[in-house]
Structure 1
């Protein structure tokens, strides 16, 4: 979403399209019982890199993997806490997760470090039980947000080309 549009009309078109898209995405999230805040995580992920259809999928894939890693880390923390105590188990798990996630930045694809962390933050902010259903629930919300961001970015440009 650039603010350097060629005309006031273009600026207004992009602004209104983004606002309408955000409102529709929020309504969709509510209708699907998805957390609206998590929908906006997907929106943010879209704008972390690329602004292309391909990068939309790559950024979202990193968010999804971050969600999965977050769920696995919650399981690992829970499993290690009885033996090590929370004050040792949690930092140990965070260390391993950080090693894995930061290492992924070197991958040829799915290397968007901010999107991985957006997935992790989404997981921990949601305070859900570590289960596949919880990951799918949050993945649905972030997917809705990324699609909405894609629409808010590409549709105004198409409208402005036609006009």
Structure 2
């Protein structure tokens, strides 16, 4: 199954009711309710709410199955880990190559991520890049703590997306 085009960030289109049959509002309300509960739980736990949505979006880059969604989350979390390595690389290269540290590191990271596009399980560059973006966006002074925070928040988001998809499938079932 090829995943060259990963643009649908909505639940499985096979489970989406046809326009005009009334199921659309149910899908909408399920997504809104699940997202609201998830963001409440994330905020209650002191985690960044935006990171929950990174997990949610990541899940829906491959909504065809629970397995594909889980693989997407693996790629997301690998992206978080790679971001830590990239930040360390930039910091260690900067004294030697100055401003070139960032583009050198980005070249290496992009080569790795895009090169994995045909590797089983790790073949979701969108999810990898969401992990990289999330890690850099957090601006955590403690990289380990920041990564743990992002794993927790994105995990909640992915779990909420799974629940959302399951509930929406029941609506059509």
**TM superposition score normalised by structure 1:** 0.91
Match of 2:114 among 102, 124, 128: 102
Determine the structure 2 residue equivalent to 1:137. 149
Alignment of 1:107-126 (within 5 A): 107-126=119-138
Residues 46 and 59, structure 1, Cα contact 8 Å, conserved in 2: yes
Please list the CA deviations of residues 102-155 of structure 1 after superposition, one character each: whole Å capped at 9, or x if unmatched: 111121222101100111111111111352221111011111111111111111
Does residue 33 in structure 1 map to residue 46 in structure 2? yes
Determine the structure 2 residue equivalent to 1:68. 81
Please list the CA deviations of residues 28-75 of structure 1 after superposition, one character each: whole Å capped at 9, or x if unmatched: 110111111111011111111243111121000000000110111001
Determine the structure 1 residue equivalent to 2:6. none
Match of 1:44 among 52, 57, 61: 57
Q: CA deviation at 1:13?
A: 1.4
CA–CA separation in structure 2 for the residues paired with 1:52 and 1:112: 14
CA–CA separation in structure 2 for the residues paired with 1:12 and 1:116: 32
Gaps of 5+ in 1: none
Residues 111/52 of structure 1: CA separation in 2 closer, same or farther (3 Å cut): same
Residues 143/134 of structure 1: CA separation in 2 closer, same or farther (3 Å cut): same
Gaps of 5+ in 2: 1-10
Q: CA deviation at 1:83?
A: 1.9
Residues 95/40 of structure 1: CA separation in 2 closer, same or farther (3 Å cut): same
CA–CA separation in structure 1 for the residues paired with 2:100 and 2:169: 51
**TM superposition score normalised by structure 2:** 0.86
Q: CA RMSD in A?
A: 1.7
Residues 52 and 153, structure 2, Cα contact 8 Å, conserved in 1: yes
